[in-house]
C-alpha cells in the first residue's frame, strides 16, 4: 500500500512555474482543474480523501445504491476518531451509536478496498494529526474530508477544505469534486511573538479581530515574520482554526521548515522521487507581485496569551484584559452578546484572572501534537495538579503517545498528578465519553466553544496548552507567564 500511496504524492506534481503574479492558492487550484462549467462550478481533481466514521456512512451507502466502486481507492485513507473512547480501546465500545459508526467505517473500508487505520492500530489517531505526521499530507495537494477542520492540512502548503457527505460520495466515485472557486486573502502577522505567546494565541487573536464571519468566502494564506517563525506543529494549529473566522481554508507556503518536517516520514517520496517532489514544492509560493482579493496585516507585539469568554471563537481577549463592555458591541449583536455572557456566567467588563475552573483538556486536532504536550510539561513540571481540576490529556495519535513516552513527558505528568488517555477527538465535541458536565467550566485547547459543544450545558474557554496548564496547576484562570521564569520578561505576572 505504501507504494500506491507514494504515487499519489507524484500525482500533483504538475508544473506551477511560469505563472507570474499568481497566488499560491491559484497555482495549486489551477493545476488541479479537470473542467470548468460555464457560469457554474469547477471540476477539481482531489489528491487525497480522508474519511472518518461520522460523515462517511451515507456516502458509502450512495455508492452501493448506484452499484459503484471507489474510483481510486489508493487515494483514500479511513480512520475513526470522533466517536472513539479515550480509555479501554481494546474493548468493545459501550455507546451503541458510537460503536455502530466505528464498525460501519471498518466494514465500508473493507468492502471498498480502502486503507483503514482502526482503533488500536499504531497509525490511528485524529485524522488531521495522522495525515501530516505520516507524510500522507504533502505540499501541492488538494485534500478534502467530511470535516470542517480539514483546513489543518493547508499548513503543509496544500489546498485543503471540508466537504459535505454528498461530496464525499462524489470524490469516492470520481476522485473529483464540483466547487466554486473562493476569493483569496492574505493575512500577514509581522514581528516576533512574545514569550508565552503561541500559534494558538495568534489564531485566537486573528479570529477576535476578524470576527467569526470576517473571512467568509475566502481562502486565506498566512504570511509574515511571525508565521514563518512557527514550527510545523504551530502552523498546523493556525491553519486548523481558519474555518472559525468563516474561511474556506487556510494555508502557508512550504519552506525549509516544511521540507525538514516531511523528510523521512513513512509515506513521503524517497530517492529520485523526493528530489523531483522537492523541486516542485520549492515553486509553491505566491509570486512577489501576486494580487489577493483582500490583504490584512496584524502585528505580533499586539498579541498576548489569549482566552475566550463567550460562545464562539471570535469572543476572545488577551488574558490580562477585561471582557468588553456592552457599549463596544454593535447594536445588532447586543442581544446575542448578552445571551452568551449569561450562558457563560460572566459579566461585561470583568477580568477572568482568578476565575475557578473545573476541567482542563489538552488535545484535539488543534493542539494534540507533541509540541503541545511539551509546552504543557514546561508549566506543570515540578508542580501538582490542583485538587479541584479534572484533567484530560489526550494525544492526537498513537504516534504522539509514543513520543510523549519516549521523551519522558509521561513521567512529568504522572508526578504532577496527571494521566495520559488514549488517542481520539475526546472532549473537543460531545460525541464520545469525554463530556464536560452542565454548568462546569473547561479550559480547552480545542477549536470551538459553542453552547454544549463539549457536553450539554458545558462552558468552554478556549486557550493554548500553556494557559491550560496554568489553570490545571492553580485551579483558576492564570496567566502562564506568572508561573514560569522562562516565560517572564521581568515585568511580573502582567496582571
* CATH fourth-level superfamily of 323-487: Aconitase, domain 3 (3.30.499.10)
Q: Cell for 282?
A: 520549492
φ, ψ for residue 312 (rounded to 5)? -150, 155
Q: Distance between CA 203 and CA 235 in Å, rounded?
A: 10
Q: Which residues pair with 374 in a beta bridge?
A: none
φ, ψ for residue 298 (rounded to 5)? -125, 165
Decide if 2-182+251-283 and 323-487 have a common fold: yes
Which pLDDT does position 490 carry in this prediction? 43
Contacts of residue 311, defined as CB under 8 A and 6 or more positions apart, other chains included, come to 340, 343, 344, 449, 450, 451
Q: Could you tell me if 8 and 74 are in contact, meaning their C-beta atoms sit under 8 angstroms apart?
A: yes
Contacts of residue 430, defined as CB under 8 A and 6 or more positions apart, other chains included, come to 452, 453, 454, 455, 456, 458
Q: Which helix (H) or strand (E) holds 162?
A: strand 159-162
Q: Which residues pair with 42 in a beta bridge?
A: 36, 179
Q: What is the β-pairing status of strands 359-362 and 390-393?
A: parallel
Buried b (16+ CB within 10 A) or exposed e, 90-124: eeebeeeebeebbebbeebbeebebbbbbbeeebb
Q: Where are the domains of the chain?
A: 2-182+251-283, 323-487
* CATH fourth-level superfamily of 2-182+251-283: Aconitase, domain 3 (3.30.499.10)
Mean pLDDT, consecutive 10-residue stretches, the chain (495 aa), reads 36 39 96 93 97 97 98 98 97 96 98 98 98 98 98 98 97 97 98 98 98 97 98 98 98 98 97 98 97 98 98 98 95 95 98 98 98 98 98 98 98 98 97 97 98 97 98 98 79 35
Report the greatest alpha carbon distance in the chain. Answer: 68
Helices (H), 282-397: 334-344, 364-367, 370-380
Shortest CA distance to 359 belongs to which of 456, 275, 427? 427
How many residues can be counted in the chain? 495
Q: With both helix axes pointing from N to C terminus, report the angle between 2-11 and 271-281 in degrees, rounded to the nearest 10.
A: 30
Which pLDDT does position 17 carry in this prediction? 41
Q: Could you tell me if 357 and 391 are in contact, meaning their C-beta atoms sit under 8 angstroms apart?
A: no
DSSP 140: T
Contacts of residue 167, defined as CB under 8 A and 6 or more positions apart, other chains included, come to 144, 146, 177
Which pLDDT does position 67 carry in this prediction? 98
Predicted TM-score of the model (pTM): 0.94
Amino acid at each position: 500500500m505504501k507504494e500506491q500511496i507514494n504515487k499519489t504524492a507524484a500525482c500533483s506534481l504538475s508544473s506551477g512555474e511560469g505563472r507570474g503574479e499568481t497566488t499560491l492558492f491559484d497555482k495549486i487550484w489551477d493545476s488541479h482543474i479537470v473542467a470548468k462549467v460555464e457560469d457554474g462550478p469547477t471540476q477539481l481533481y482531489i489528491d487525497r480523501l480522508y474519511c472518518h466514521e461520522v460523515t462517511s456512512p451515507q456516502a458509502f451507502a450512495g455508492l452501493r445504491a448506484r452499484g459503484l466502486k471507489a474510483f481510486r481507492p489508493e487515494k483514500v485513507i479511513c480512520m475513526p476518531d470522533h466517536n472513539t473512547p479515550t480509555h479501554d480501546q481494546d474493548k468493545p465500545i459501550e455507546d451503541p451509536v458510537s460503536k455502530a459508526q466505528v464498525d460501519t467505517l471498518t466494514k465500508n473500508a473493507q468492502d471498498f478496498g480502502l486503507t483503514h487505520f482502526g482503533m488500536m492500530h499504531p497509525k490511528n489517531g485524529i485524522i488531521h494529526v495522522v495525515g501530516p505526521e505520516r507524510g500522507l499530507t504533502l505540499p501541492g495537494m488538494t485534500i478534502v474530508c467530511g470535516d470542517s477542520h480539514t483546513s489543518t492540512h493547508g499548513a503543509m502548503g496544500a489546498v485543503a477544505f471540508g466537504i459535505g457527505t454528498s461530496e464525499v460520495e462524489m470524490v469516492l466515485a470520481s476522485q473529483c469534486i464540483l466547487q466554486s472557486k473562493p476569493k483569496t486573502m492574505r493575512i500577514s502577522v509581522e514581528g516576533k511573538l512574545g514569550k508565552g505567546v503561541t500559534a494558538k494565541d495568534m489564531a485566537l487573536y486573528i479570529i477576535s479581530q476578524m470576527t467569526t464571519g470576517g473571512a467568509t468566502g475566502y481562502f486565506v494564506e498566512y504570511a509574515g515574520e511571525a508565521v514563518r517563525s512557527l514550527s510545523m506543529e504551530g502552523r498546523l494549529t493556525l491553519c486548523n482554526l481558519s474555518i472559525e473566522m468563516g474561511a474556506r481554508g487556510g494555508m502557508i507556503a512550504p519552506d525549509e521548515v516544511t521540507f525538514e518536517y516531511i523528510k523521512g516520514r513513512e509515506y513521503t517520496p524517497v530517492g529520485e522521487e523526493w528530489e523531483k517532489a522537492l523541486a516542485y514544492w520549492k515553486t509553491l509560493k505566491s509570486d512577489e507581485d501576486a494580487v489577493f482579493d483582500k490583504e490584512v496585516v496584524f502585528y505580533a507585539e499586539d498579541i498576548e496569551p489569549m482566552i475566550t469568554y463567550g460562545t464562539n471563537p471570535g469572543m476572545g481577549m488577551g488574558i490580562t484584559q477585561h471582557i468588553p463592555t456592552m457599549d463596544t458591541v454593535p447594536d445588532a449583536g447586543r442581544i446575542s452578546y448578552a445571551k452568551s455572557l449569561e450562558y457563560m456566567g460572566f459579566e461585561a467588563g470583568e477580568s477572568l484572572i482568578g476565575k475557578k475552573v473545573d476541567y482542563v483538556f489538552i488535545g484535539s486536532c488543534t493542539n494534540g501534537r507533541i509540541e503541545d504536550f511539551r509546552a504543557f510539561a514546561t508549566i506543570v513540571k515540578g508542580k501538582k495538579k490542583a485538587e479541584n481540576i479534572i484533567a484530560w490529556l489526550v494525544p492526537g495519535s498513537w504516534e504522539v503517545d509514543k513520543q510523549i513516552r519516549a521523551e519522558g513527558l509521561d513521567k512529568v505528568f504522572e508526578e504532577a498528578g496527571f494521566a495520559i488517555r488514549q488517542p481520539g477527538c475526546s472532549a473537543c465535541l460531545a460525541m464520545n465519553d469525554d463530556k464536560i458536565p452542565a454548568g462546569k467550566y473547561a479550559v480547552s485547547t480545542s477549536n470551538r466553544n459553542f453552547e454544549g459543544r463539549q457536553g450539554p450545558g458545558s462552558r468552554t474557554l478556549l486557550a493554548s496548552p500553556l494557559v491550560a496548564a496554568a489553570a490545571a496547576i492553580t485551579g483558576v484562570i492564570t496567566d502562564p507567564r506568572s508561573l514560569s521564569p522562562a516565560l517572564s520578561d521581568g515585568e511580573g505576572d502582567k496582571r
